[in-house]
Structure 1
Amino acid sequence: MTALALSPTARPQRAVRRLHRPALIVWSGFQLLAVSALLWVHLFRAPAAREDHSASYFVLTDVNNVMNFLGEVLSYVSIPVAVWAGAALIGRELEDGTARLAWTQSITPARWLTAKLTAAALPLAAGSTLLGLVFAWVRTTDQDVLVTNWSWDRVLVPTGPMSVALVLFALAVGTLAGVALGRALPALAAAALTTYTTRYFFGRTWDDIWPVRRYWPVQLSATVLLLLVAALAVAVTFRLLARRTESLS
């Protein structure tokens, strides 16, 4: 059992980052691969498509196929975030007693949860912002060879602030599931299902729902709504954790 042992003056976020360093490495590696793939599309596949549409086509390297695939992947990145938050970040430590040991030794439950959320939210928000900016830049720059529409989910979700809001929503929902259920596997399943359902709703073809709206009204309204729900989930999580620890004392 590995406890989050902290002195009263220690920085808990640093300890959380150290404990979950493998997840940070995976997240950084994913960003590197995604950005590299997007730059490859911009520097090589898009110019090839402009030069000769027929000769440059190959199903695995066609500029539209690659961008569609990358858009799908980036639009669903919130689901593994929710799985990790529910299972590894929160659920497992409650299930095996690591969190309780940390609470009795050096850190209050509220400070423990704050450290978890802060240490995870910063790299997730920064990485999602980077991926969204690069994806949007490549799509805008090379739109002359791309067959896309802004309302398609593989375009709408990863190109704007909605992508960051979805990831933060997934973190909040995973944390809530972990605290509410207290076990890794049930929290994993609940967080994944909730996030997938939310991603499906917010990523569906908005022309069918709000036909008079356009890209930025949809992006901003969806982002605000997702962040409000995420904030509500965090507030409920802190309340549940307080009740949980009160019952143990």
Structure 2
Amino acid sequence: MTALSHAPGPASAQRSLRRLHRPALLVWTAFVTAALGGLLWLHLSRVPTERSCLGFHFSTQGDLPVCDYSAFTDANNVFNFLGEALSYSGVAVAAWAGAALIGRELESGTVKLAWTQSVSPARWLAGKLITAAVPLLAGGGLLALAFGWVWTADKDALVTNWTLDRVFIPRGPLLPALLLLGLAVGALAGIALRRTLPALAVAAAVTLAIRLYLRAAWKPLHGPLHGFWAVHLSATAMVLALAAAATTGAFSLLRHQAR
């Protein structure tokens, strides 16, 4: 009775969960802020400069106006770099989810105390996933909106084609969908392996493989479907279906292990 009377309630458990994963939240916030800052810098500073610089800079011969570029100032290079980073961000989410979010607690065995005193295994996993999914969806959605806005407003200065993954993925809801897929795969790997480092490695590898395979899966959609949004939304549906399957698998496996 004493142990039960001091068992943490749902509100206390949620506060403990937020404190436990505060470093990951800070890292995610820093990543989102840096990416948003880079996109704003491109739109407000770099692209306007490159549009107008032909009228201000001249070649050493003094006959033709030219622009001076570098790998760090060319707007298209920076945009491509940000697009690549965002398109693979789900892999990092999977590694974190498999190791820190799920695998660590199962490996240490501390979660069994919570299961017997405060919450069921299914409720424990649901709390974990929801607490992680909210900031991932918020940040991913904001990044997708900003990326799409910059691409639409500045595509005259950005030579990247929208069919390339680095533009196709971050430009809409496919980006937060891939983050959810990484979270689900990480949870499934953590529950299946119950060890931190193996779960980290497997979750990252599986998510990377899925991410690369999906490129081949949604490429044929460019034939029967026309336009960015038709292809993009179809690809998003594919990813969400995989995320739902991985989430269902995680709950089913946890239920089996907790018997």
**TM-score, scaled relative to structure 2:** 0.88
Counterpart position of 2:57: none
Aligned partner letter, 2:175: S
Question: Residues 68 and 154 of structure 1 are in contact (CA less than 8 Å); yes or no, is this contact kept in structure 2?
Answer: yes
Question: Residues 152 and 203 of structure 1 are in contact (CA less than 8 Å); yes or no, is this contact kept in structure 2?
Answer: no
Alignment deviations for residues 20-67 of structure 1 (CA, whole Å, 9 cap, x no partner): 000001000111111011111111110111012533422211011000
Kindly tell me: are residues 207 and 105 of structure 1, through their superposed partners in 2, closer, same or farther at Cα, counting changes over 3 Å?
Answer: closer
Identity %: 53
| Runs of 5+ consecutive residues of structure 1 not aligned to the other structure | none
Counterpart position of 2:75: 63
Counterpart position of 1:137: 149
Question: Residues 151 and 205 of structure 1 are in contact (CA less than 8 Å); yes or no, is this contact kept in structure 2?
Answer: no
Alignment deviations for residues 202-231 of structure 1 (CA, whole Å, 9 cap, x no partner): 345955663343311211111112111211
Question: Residues 160 and 219 of structure 1 are in contact (CA less than 8 Å); yes or no, is this contact kept in structure 2?
Answer: yes
Distance in 2 (CA, whole Å) between partners of 1:11 and 1:236 is 28
Counterpart position of 2:125: 113
Counterpart position of 1:193: 205
Aligned partner letter, 2:51: R
Kindly tell me: are residues 150 and 109 of structure 1, through their superposed partners in 2, closer, same or farther at Cα, counting changes over 3 Å?
Answer: same
Counterpart position of 2:103: 91
Distance in 1 (CA, whole Å) between partners of 2:79 and 2:93 is 22
| Runs of 5+ consecutive residues of structure 2 not aligned to the other structure | 1-5, 55-65
Q: 1:245: Cα distance to partner?
A: 1.0
* Aligned counterpart for 1:162 among listed residues 171, 174, 177: 174
Misfit runs of 4+, over 3 Å: 11-14, 203-210
Aligned length: 242
Question: Residues 87 and 166 of structure 2 are in contact (CA less than 8 Å); yes or no, is this contact kept in structure 1?
Answer: yes
Counterpart position of 2:230: 217
Distance in 1 (CA, whole Å) between partners of 2:250 and 2:12 is 22
* Aligned counterpart for 1:226 among listed residues 239, 244, 255: 239
* SS at 1:32 equivalent: helix
Alignment deviations for residues 136-194 of structure 1 (CA, whole Å, 9 cap, x no partner): 11111111111011110100011011111100011000000000111111111111111
* SS at 1:121 equivalent: helix
Kindly tell me: are residues 205 and 174 of structure 1, through their superposed partners in 2, closer, same or farther at Cα, counting changes over 3 Å?
Answer: closer
Distance in 2 (CA, whole Å) between partners of 1:223 and 1:209 is 12
Give the aligned CA root-mean-square deviation in angstroms.
1.8
Q: Could you tell which deviates more after superposition, 86-95 or 54-63?
A: 54-63
Distance in 2 (CA, whole Å) between partners of 1:29 and 1:102 is 31
Kindly tell me: are residues 59 and 204 of structure 1, through their superposed partners in 2, closer, same or farther at Cα, counting changes over 3 Å?
Answer: farther
Aligned partner letter, 2:157: V
Question: Residues 218 and 235 of structure 2 are in contact (CA less than 8 Å); yes or no, is this contact kept in structure 1?
Answer: no
Aligned partner letter, 1:27: W
Kindly tell me: are residues 67 and 126 of structure 1, through their superposed partners in 2, closer, same or farther at Cα, counting changes over 3 Å?
Answer: same
Kindly tell me: are residues 204 and 91 of structure 1, through their superposed partners in 2, closer, same or farther at Cα, counting changes over 3 Å?
Answer: same
Distance in 2 (CA, whole Å) between partners of 1:9 and 1:174 is 24
* SS at 1:104 equivalent: helix
Distance in 2 (CA, whole Å) between partners of 1:204 and 1:61 is 32
Counterpart position of 2:25: 24
